[in-house]
Structure 1
């Protein structure tokens, strides 16, 4: 995996009023979806790796407690994080720091927890991990729009979101609910990643829009969101994911799409209001 030599100049951007930015993490991007099975986790890990390839210091937090898939996607199902100064030491692989609840439990065991315990576990992984200095922390959010998502959006200092969907109408309906929820919470969305957009036959090269067409156009018309990337339905993505070697680590046309997604992410986030909280000095109130 090659890393670009010119490191991008990444600065911190504004977060929701009332929250404090984690001092060593400049920007937190939540990768979301309205439903499962659209490739959200695959998008999250490949985006994180691609940001690192562009020179940005990047971490990945697996926020899906009930179904953590990042240990499989990065080939680290046996990894157990060390504890240093009462903090977890994330996995350092593919140029990114990775922390997942899947590293902490037996992979055959289900987390039969209520929302409050889940939120506490996510908060601990976020705040009690030795991330180092990060330009971006990518959070692989759980699918859906339930209580856990609401709490994460209200308490986690998220800079912006990215929405992952597939083109079919039922996925667009669910992802629309996710977009609407984050809009209500005042979290900006950088745009949409359309996954499994087109299948190209390996034998004849014929392209088939298996899940429909113009899905991203519908989202743009309804929510005024830009298309960040269109990923093909390609067996190589699945094969490399199952091997624990995300396709963004390669040098091929699909990896280039993820690299372009990372570049667009940097460009879109640069348009958001900047965070000047660290520029403010201490204000003292003197009573006369």
Structure 2
């Protein structure tokens, strides 16, 4: 009956609706403007959108309608959308930051529990972005909260590989990142028209990376993966400055020439005082679909060579995390925005990528940059 409906019961139903970008209940975000119940059981719900051009307004309307319609006695649901005022948006921004001052990088705080991996390579063409995307999705499907920063400013490709179709939404000076396959993503490609090249030098690159880390609302992430450009240039140095606790993942191929260059990408950790989480060898071999034999198209031993050289250089063991075989479906998945670990989880390459993801997910954070809670004691 309509008489059993109250504002409280409707509000409780609305608490089950999450904002699709922020991933928190709309009731917690003060997005519920009003709830009116007519005598015949018709319910009118007013919802505040963060911005006028919210790209997910239809989804919010659909989710609100579905949640309220389930209540006994509801005869109809009408959703009316409004837009937050500047003051309301500032309040939301403060709430999302938990009262923390703006422009801080949450992952750089000593108490941050987010594992940050900077995926690096000595040269281009070794499949670094493909590895990053598949690791991110593998971790997300295992239940982790994952984000990816496409820090390859000049050669950004992560949005396509992940199949991201949404665009970032701005709330005051905070950016809500779009997501795909339960992975939050930000890339400079989301802010440039078409396939326009990015022509920036060092300071601009540093500022862009800083904004991706500080201005984007990532929420409580378990893992943040950063797809770096090849080499040891400005971005690699900026990552070390902005996120000194980030660990480096080195991607190489078995080819000796590629391995030598990859060593330099990992050896930067000796100068920046970062840890190297390990080495991933991509395109390790081509498995025969009939006999199962392996053809080493690009040679062999490159990954082990890099791991051993970095272990010697850094004075700490750098493990070989895995060897990913050649699989045309890995390339096709990148072109289509459907990562291999989702489309063909039983493929050899997919299994190896999941194994690597599992190894990285269980790593504990080191003590670098963390406060130990000890203080000097004066002797009497």
Determine whether 1:231 maps to 2:361.
no
Matches within 5 A, 1:1-288: 20-21=108-109, 26-76=114-164, 78-202=165-289, 205-224=292-311, 225-250=318-343, 251-253=345-347, 254-267=349-362, 269-270=363-364, 272-273=366-367, 276-277=370-371, 280=373
Q: Aligned-pair distance for 1:220? A: 3.0
Q: 2:143 & 2:305 partners in 1: Cα distance?
A: 34
CA distance in 2, matches of 1:265, 1:184: 23
Q: TM-score, normalised by structure 2?
A: 0.64
- Residues 258, 302 of structure 2: 8 Å contact kept: no
**8 Å contact from structure 2 (residues 260, 306) kept in 1:** no
Bigger relative contact order, structure 1 or 2 (CA pairs below 8 A, ≥6 apart): 1
When normalised by structure 1's length, the TM-score is 0.83
| Partner Cα separation in structure 1 for residue 234 and residue 168 of structure 2 | 28
With 248-257 and 158-167 compared, the bigger mean Cα shift is at 248-257
Gaps of 5+ in 2: 1-106, 312-317, 376-380
CA contact (8 A) 2:160 2:337 kept: yes
| Equivalent-residue separation in structure 2 for 1:276 and 1:146 (angstroms) | 27
Conserved 8 A contact 2:163-2:180: no
Residue in structure 1 matched with residue 3 of structure 2 by the alignment = none
Highest CA radius of gyration, 1 or 2? 2
Per-residue CA distance 1:50-101 (angstroms, 9 max, x = gap): 111222211111001111001110123x532111232111112111111111
Contact (CA 8 Å) 2:259, 2:302: kept in 1 or not? yes
Whole-angstrom CA distance in 1 between matches of 2:150 and 2:180: 14
